Chain A
């Protein structure tokens, strides 16, 4: 209880990290809703890894073109964001274009993307002699290093993503649920897809930068899967996913602080426990009432 009171104090030393955690935990599921509904869950593994490769590439490119970079300053973070975003958005656009052509299986494309991204991340780090522990931390997502300035950027950008997701939710829903109908209605399907991918790309890039690929993937997928079991409407699905994500991120932070655990894994573990409990409760409930399970 004392630990809970402490982390809720305004002057809590890790307040920025806590707020950053909850922000990532809240916004990633809002994007993840579309991963689940479009059956692109495994893309949630590949894209954060691609984002990490982008960060590593940005540093290598900077060193080759400009010269050695300094660790821990704002320009290093900006560089990382540019690299992460370019790789994530590029990857998602290429994968989407390949999906339209449909020559290979989805699993093959995503598997190859993940393997290539993971290999590139390590290779880029090996090429850059300045790729020391601090950079590795940046790749893994060092949420405890969140500062007021980086939190401000995170809140502004993720806030904009949330506004876009809610403002255009009927367009995103239509192109996701029935693409043909959107074409018949003469909606700009490509533009809406691109805008959605942009929102996904920005969220994943910032998520990886802030909390790392593991937490980003976990929160893209686990809270929406939990919310899917509890809701019957699109809006309540999105809101429940965001709520569960934010809450489990907070509880995960508390557990990590209270029991001195690594933060990211603790957050994902809490979210997964909630998913397991809700799944079990839903199955028992359905078994008792004889109702059908949602697909």
Chain B
């Protein structure tokens, strides 16, 4: 019997102007690899931000079956949200992940440096540790951000469009890192994406976000050709 990690009970999420998503009822189970899919503007990022605690829950309840203060979720934002003006090396960015467990006044120590180097190696980027973050390619930046999320030693990893705007080779490398983490370490992963073809072979389940709500189901069922045609065909014909 899989163990629940996050449980949403009739949850509404949104902003000041009102709810974007309503009646959300699903469970993220431990060790799952989930894709959040749906048309543009359907509320995928809203749902991800709600799961991260970045948006207030308007109605209902999100139950986290782990101590979020002690083990916060790993978060990989879209890389464009981070300002390249900061003079940070790739390793310094990854070290930020270790701040999750460091109280104020406790400096980054040997353990944190070793952990950050290990996480960079897991993302296949040990060679760029000393390079400026701003000078890396889109795909490398994204993998550095994955390494940063791993450095917080999370039980749940949430990613916002990690393969958007990167070339197909880099996108495949990112998906390879993620599926390895899920398969070998049992890390629970939820990612927002538009790239059905890329995630179909690796994700075990899909949360389909559309029409102001979201439903969860197995990949084969949720990505059945007729369902895809239903949504994207309707959108295409306006």
Instruction: Please report A residues at the B interface, Cβ cutoff 8 Å.
Output: 36-37, 39, 167-168, 170-171, 173-174, 176-178, 180-181, 183-187, 228, 231-234, 236-237, 292, 294-295
Contact = CB atoms under 8 A, between A and B. Distances in A.
Nearest to A195: B104
Contact of B86 (A180, A234, A236): A234
Tell me which of A167, A177, A181, A236 has the highest count of chain B C-beta atoms within 10 A of its own C-beta: A181
A187 B52 CA distance: 14
Contacts of B84: 295
B99 to A, nearest CB: 5
Interface string B119-142: 000000000000010110000000
A234 B86 CA distance: 8
Contacts of A170: 96, 99, 102, 107-108
The 10 A-B residue pairs whose C-beta atoms are closest, nearest first, are A295-B84, A185-B100, A237-B87, A184-B75, A185-B72, A232-B132, A184-B52, A177-B86, A186-B69, A295-B85
A37 B86 contact: yes
B87 A186 contact: no
5 contacts: A37-B83, A181-B75, A184-B75, A185-B72, A234-B88
Nearest to B82: A178
Contacts of B186: none
A237 B89 CA distance: 12
Given A177-B88, A183-B53, A292-B135, 14 more contacts: A37-B83, A167-B104, A167-B105, A168-B104, A170-B96, A170-B102, A170-B108, A171-B99, A171-B104, A177-B83, A180-B75, A184-B53, A186-B68, A186-B72
A184 B83 CA distance: 18
A234 B108 CA distance: 14
B152 interface: yes
Nearest to B95: A170
A82 to B, nearest CB: 29
Contacts of B85: 36-37, 39, 228, 295
- If over half of B's interface residues share one DSSP class (helix, strand or loop), that class is named, otherwise mixed; here it is loop
Interface string B182-210: 00000000000000000000000000000
Contacts of A236: 87
Interface residues of B, number: 31
B104 A177 contact: no
Nearest to A171: B104
A174 B88 contact: no
B77 interface: yes
B89 A232 contact: yes
A242 to B, nearest CB: 15
A237 B88 CA distance: 10
A175 to B, nearest CB: 10
A295 B152 CA distance: 28
A185 B54 contact: no
B73 interface: yes
Contacts of A176: 86
A234 B54 contact: no
Contacts of B96: 170, 173-174, 177-178, 181
A77 B77 CA distance: 48
Contacts of B152: 185
B134 A295 contact: yes
B87 A294 contact: yes
Contacts of B77: 178, 180-181
A183 to B, nearest CB: 6
A292 B131 CA distance: 13
B92 A233 contact: yes
Contacts of A39: 83, 85
Nearest to B105: A167
Contacts of B92: 233-234
Contacts of A167: 104-105
B87 A232 contact: yes
Contacts of B75: 180-181, 184
Nearest to B69: A186
Q: Which of B77, B99, B102, B135 has the most CB of A within 10 A?
A: B99
